[in-house]
Amino acid sequence: MTVVPLSALDLALAAALVLALAGLAWIGRLGVAGTLLVAAARTTVQLLLVGLVLKAVFARADLLWVAGLALLMLLLAGREVMARQRRRFRGPWGYALGTLSMFLSSFAVTVFALTAVIGNTPWHEPRYAIPLLGMLLGNTMNGVAIGLDRLTAGAAEARAAIEARLALGARAAEAVAPLAREAVRAGLIPIVNAMSAAGVVSLPGMMTGQILAGTPPMEAVRYQVLIMFLIAAGTGFGTLAAVRLAARRLFDARERLRLDRLR
């Protein structure tokens, strides 16, 4: 079974739906018509560029090329994490917390999957490594961003309660523990919902893509289960690391709450 090729006309017909939606948004004065069109244009340009880059990387299959592209993906994901927070840390910490957490989680989980689970040769084969890392980074990015945003914004709102716990003799970790637990829980909600609804409410993207490409349905299911488990682990580890590091950064060496470190 071969993939049905899509022409420029086919894509234009799909784009017409987005244009129609933007027109309705403009007529309804929703204020999102321009944003929707810009997002559609960015999607087209970004995916075309990614396609060209992946074509070159797949042709070489060199570890340095794969590592360079993976590093670029990580750095861009770290920027997105920082941009999504209402209150973020000043200076390099605002960027480093999310980026470091995703590096420790997504990269470790990806290498584990490539070497111990999939076992392809070479282990850094870009046809497996890049899509797998991309899915892990994308989902881990969401969890880390939500967790950090919930922690920092919550600390600013609950400043009086945190300082009251400190005044009563609680250590910094104890004073911020309720917020940290809530932040981690919030970061895990998207992947928990995705796993709960997979196969019942929706067919996940990777499974759908494999089936469209001609992969037997049960083989596509096995890969999708693997991906969901890896995403859950990467998101959980990344969110835990980010919230733990951020919670420590909220206090100084004398365990005083330092909200001046936030923007």
**Tens digit of pLDDT for each residue in 165-204?**
999 999 999 999 999 999 999 999 988 988 888 777 666 7
CB neighbour list of residue 141: distance below 8 Å, 6 or more residues apart: 77, 80, 81, 98, 102
**Domain tally for the chain?**
2
pLDDT level of residue 21 (50, 70, 90 thresholds):
very high
Q: Average the pLDDT over 102-116 and give the result.
A: 90
Average pLDDT of the residues of the chain: 89
Phi-psi region of 133 (alpha: psi -120 to 50; beta: other; left: phi over 0): alpha
Domain match, 133 and 226 both: yes
Give the contacts of 255 (CB within 8 A, at least 6 positions apart).
Answer: 166, 171, 172
- Within 10 angstroms of residue 231's Cβ, the number of other Cβ atoms is 26
Here the tokens at position 213 are 């490409």
Q: How many CB atoms lie within 10 A of CB 186?
A: 18
Query: Where among 60, 88, 109 does a domain terminate?
Result: 60
- The whole-angstrom separation of Cα 23 and Cα 202 is 28
Where do we find the tokens 């609804």?
Answer: 197
Structural domain ending residue among the three candidates 24, 43, 60? 60
Q: What is the pTM of this model?
A: 0.82
Among 19-23, 51-55, 73-77, 105-109, name the most confident range: 19-23
Same domain, 83 and 20: no
- The full 3-state SS of 194-256, as one line of letters, equals HHHHECCCECCHHHHHHHHCCCCHHHHHHHHHHHHHHHHHHHHHHHHHHHHHHHHHCECCCCC
- Indicate whether 47 and 73 sit together in one domain: no
CA atoms within 13 Å, Cβ hemisphere of 148? 37
Residue (of 222, 250, 231) closest to 153 by Cα position? 250
- Give the pLDDT band (50/70/90) at residue 24: very high
Residue 36 pLDDT level (bands cut at 50, 70, 90): very high
Q: What is the DSSP letter of 257?
A: B
Considering the domain architecture, whether residues 75 and 55 belong to the same structural domain is answered as no
Percentage with pLDDT > 70 across the chain: 98
Whether residues 20 and 121 fall in one domain: no
Same domain, yes or no: 30 and 47? yes
Residue identified by tokens 């004065």 is 29
Domain region containing 35? 1-60
Q: Are residues 13 and 115 in the same domain?
A: no
Half-sphere exposure of 171 (CA within 13 A, CB side): 5
Cβ distance 145 to 99 under 8 Å? no
Q: Percent of the chain having pLDDT more than 90?
A: 46
Q: Are residues 180 and 224 in the same domain?
A: yes
Same domain, 23 and 138: no
The predicted structure's pLDDT at residue 2: 61
Query: Which residue, 24, 44, 60, sits at the end of a domain?
Result: 60
One domain for residues 20 and 130? no
When pLDDT is averaged across residues 224-239 and rounded to a whole number, the result is 91
The rounded distance, in Å, linking the Cα atoms of 193 and 201 is 10
Q: Is the pLDDT of residue 160 over 80?
A: yes
Output the pLDDT for position 217: 82
Residue 178 is predicted with a pLDDT of: 93
Rounded Cα gap, residues 210 and 190, in angstroms: 23
Q: Return d(Cα 48, Cα 232) in angstroms, integer.
A: 29
Residue 1 has what pLDDT?
53
Assess whether 81 and 39 both reside in one domain.
no
Residues 2 and 131 in one domain: no
